[in-house]
Amino acid sequence: MKSRRSTVEGFCENPRSSRFALPLLLLSTLLTLTSCSVIETSFSAIKTAFSAIKTSYRVVKKTVKGTIWVVRGTYEFTKGATKLVYQIGKFTFEVVRAPLEYPLMSDDIETIDGLPVKEAIRLGRVKNAPYTVKGRHYVPMTLASAQTYEETGLASWYGEETRRQQGGHMTANGELFNPRALSAAHKYLPLPIHVQVTNLENGRSIVVRVNDRGPFPSDHNPDSGKRIIDLSRRAAEQLGFAEQGVAKVHVETIQLEEA
């Protein structure tokens, strides 16, 4: 095998061949460096793109596992309907459409789908529409992504104060909030949707109707925005954490089949 030195000497001994070989070598090197630069630039752009679409939820690719829950009754409002009653397994849901003049449960929501909140609710433009809270833009997941959503994190419960206030309160999709119903708030899931929530500390599990937005960071507790779901008082009681306030839970959407 020739040494590096003998190769160089070969160029010097044959000036005619070296006159063409050296420029070719330099051209090859320049092209390689330029290609590397382009690749690095492209990779940098890709990283930036991925950074821009990160959200705080995790979608897992999987096939349907476990039982497909059977729903008896209509679980979404039809035109003109003001009340729904239906069952999913052993869980009964009673849902009432709230008058538009009722205050929102989360009055920090500024717009939905670029519209004033009540106008978006009136027009039915809520389900997975983007919305803003205190200047922060939230983009819910698509209906397809929601079908395979599951996440583990902290749950809290909210809304008990509404029992001591005069009049009713409205969820982000226009339903009457009821602390005794099995309902929940989520930042990214389409509204409404049903999820199974399991308390990982005691193994208890229930199904709830997600019909509101939250939990969001509060002024006195910024970490509250890191929680993945807010449940009604009754849901927290059935999961066994109403007194302690928070619990580690597993949340996943359930597959429904109409009876």
The CA distance from 21 to 73, in Å, is 81
Burial of 30 (0-12, 13-18, 19+ CB in 10 A): exposed
Q: In DSSP terms, which residues pair with 44 in a beta bridge?
A: none
Four-CA torsion 221, 226, 232, 236, nearest 10 degrees: -100
What's this model's pTM, rounded to 2 decimal places? 0.75
| pLDDT score recorded for residue 258 | 87
Is residue 98 within 8 Å of residue 181, measured between CB atoms?
Answer: no
| pLDDT score recorded for residue 175 | 97
| pLDDT score recorded for residue 25 | 42
Fold of 69-258: Barwin-like endoglucanases (2.40.40)
| pLDDT score recorded for residue 43 | 30
| pLDDT score recorded for residue 33 | 39
Chunked in runs of 10, what are the mean pLDDT values of the chain (259 residues)? 42 42 42 39 33 38 63 91 96 96 94 98 96 96 95 95 78 96 98 98 98 93 92 98 97 92
